[in-house]
Amino acid sequence: MSSVKRAGVLAAAVVLTAGLAASPATADTPFASAVFKATHNSYSGGAKNSITYQLDHGVRFLEFDIHDNLYGSTGDYALGHTGPGNDVDHAGNPASNNLRDWLAVVSAWSDAHRTHAPLVVMLDLKDDLTDNPSYAAGNLTALNQELKSAFGAKLLLAKDYPGDLPSVDALRGRVISLLSGDGKTRAEYRRDLGYHPAVAVNGRGQVVEVHDSGGGSLWYWTGTLGADNRVTWLRHGKYDSGQTPAVALRDDGTLVEVHQSETASTLWYHVGKLGADGEITWSPSHQYDNGVLPTIAFTGSALREIHKSQSSSQNWEWRGTLSGQTVTWTGNAKTSDARYPKSVSGPVSVWTGADGATPAQTLRYSATGVTGDRIRYQQTAFDEYQEGDSAELKQGALFYAAPASSSSFIVAARQAGRAVRGWDFDDPSRATSPLANYPATNHPWDGWYQSLLAQAAE
């Protein structure tokens, strides 16, 4: 290669990796066709240097390994390889291991370099976040909020890009968040599973869904109903043990939930209060009868509950008067009325069913003009599909990943138009044709790495 051509190649590589103004020749480069400098375990410093140094020198893919072990005491996720603080280099980086502080460094750098090429911040989930029972305990809603708070309008939301991403130039100044690591958590981010779902919608468009896990736990989702009848799901959490729940919701956000116990035919209720943020403040549970399959509704200012006998097909009813966090039940009697249709409220119905490759117990909802949407976390981050993952994680994934040694996987994914990461890219012999979009290395300043990226820009 002539010195003139080599100079041109290096210039093109700089366009894609350093975030400078694009030349006309690369202005329309599709995102999935570009190659970017990427580091592996970016927080570990050493030869990679600090996060700011990496960004200043063209790295456009950062990896932060995170743990949730300390969330209860710190209110944040902690960086670290095998555990919080492990292999974290604080030289030139934040003094703490809190994810929030490290994201702030990236956000500040992005603000100071507004024409940078799209920057991917990958969170490698080292722990299972699905057992975090609430927002306060650090579930995926909390992680979403942390990303939104850190990057604001710069953050590219996955929900807005169900198809391929646009050109590199169209994404300049934007930050893309990507979830990797624990497969159970990545799957739950894209869908939730449950049994016996029930829903209530009030006149203000607030939505509460409750269901059981099939294994004795009771969970809820809350959301808001839009003008297009799509639900924006806000909060998710565990609130008790039991099965076959039902819920009624007033316009002031007061709700009453009823359910059957997990192991016996006893009936229990909760009073709750739905806040503007979607969080529910739950009162303690109280037993009110024996029976199965309870349902409930507000009838004016009062409550009416109908359930089935545990020993026959007979339905029974209660009338309830709500006072603070308790219900006074009266008028227990047999009734010929059917139980309330707990899976339908206003325009919204909830049900379970496979969505493509997802399991049959995937929680879904329908409304006027909306058929079969998943009940799930807001799709803020993109979800990475890794070599060996399940078919449901592959469904619709734009980002793929594998060890750099998995050359056939990387090449096939590139040829299929996916943006591909190859991690532990620490030897030139691991180069593929085409090269991974994100050859994530521990040696970003070595000559062989710089040369490979230059060649990829030809």
| Domain spans in the chain, listed from the N-terminal domain onward | 33-188+379-457, 192-374
User: And the tokens for 94?
Assistant: 């934040």
pLDDT in tens, 315-342: 999 999 999 999 999 999 999 999 999 9
High-pLDDT (> 90) share of the chain, %: 92
User: And the tokens for 378?
Assistant: 């807001």
Q: Which of 27-31, 80-84, 345-349 has the lowest mean pLDDT?
A: 27-31
Predicted local confidence at residue 7, as pLDDT: 31
Predicted local confidence at residue 258, as pLDDT: 98
SS3 (DSSP) at 46: helix
Predicted local confidence at residue 43, as pLDDT: 98
Predicted local confidence at residue 23, as pLDDT: 33
pLDDT in tens, 74-87: 999 999 999 999 99
- What string of DSSP letters covers 348-363? EEEEE---TTS-TTBE
Q: Is the pLDDT of residue 5 over 70?
A: no
Partners of 370 in the β-ladder = 367
Predicted local confidence at residue 108, as pLDDT: 98
Q: Is residue 248 within a helix (H) or strand (E), and if so which, with residue range?
A: strand 243-249
Residues 6+ apart with CB under 8 A from 336: 315
Closest CA to 287 of 270, 305, 263, 306: 270
Predicted local confidence at residue 27, as pLDDT: 55
Predicted local confidence at residue 1, as pLDDT: 35
In the 8-state DSSP scheme, what is residue 259? E
Global confidence as pTM: 0.93
Which fold would CATH assign to domain 33-188+379-457? Answer: TIM Barrel (3.20.20)
pLDDT in tens, 122-146: 999 999 999 999 999 999 999 999 9
Q: Which of 14-23, 146-155, 206-215 has the lowest mean pLDDT?
A: 14-23
Could you give the C-alpha distances from 445 to 49, 57, 117, 175, 418, in angstroms and in order? 10, 9, 19, 23, 26
Binned at pLDDT 50, 70 and 90, residue 458 comes out as low
- How far is it, in rounded angstroms, from Cα 62 to Cα 123? 9
Q: Is the pLDDT of residue 13 over 50?
A: no
- How far is it, in rounded angstroms, from Cα 370 to Cα 197? 18
Predicted local confidence at residue 372, as pLDDT: 97
Q: Report, in this order, helix, strand and coil percent for the chain, each rounded to 5.
A: 25, 35, 40
Q: Is the pLDDT of residue 367 over 70?
A: yes
Q: Is the pLDDT of residue 211 over 90?
A: yes
Predicted local confidence at residue 316, as pLDDT: 98
For residue 87, count other CB atoms closer than 10 A to its CB: 15
Q: Is the pLDDT of residue 360 over 50?
A: yes
* Chain centroid, CA 452 distance in Å: 34
| HSE value, Cβ hemisphere, 13 Å, CA-based, for 285 | 17
User: And the tokens for 217?
Assistant: 């736990």
Could you give the C-alpha distances from 228 to 20, 61, 240, in angstroms and in order? 40, 36, 32
Helices (H), 314-405: 391-394
Predicted local confidence at residue 266, as pLDDT: 98
User: And the tokens for 209?
Assistant: 């869904």
Predicted local confidence at residue 455, as pLDDT: 84
Predicted local confidence at residue 238, as pLDDT: 98
As a whole number, the mean pLDDT across the chain is 93
- How far is it, in rounded angstroms, from Cα 358 to Cα 364? 11
Averaged pLDDT, 242-270 = 97
Averaged pLDDT, 212-241 = 97
Phi, psi of 282 (to 5 degrees): -100, 140
Contact 247, 200 (CB under 8 A): yes
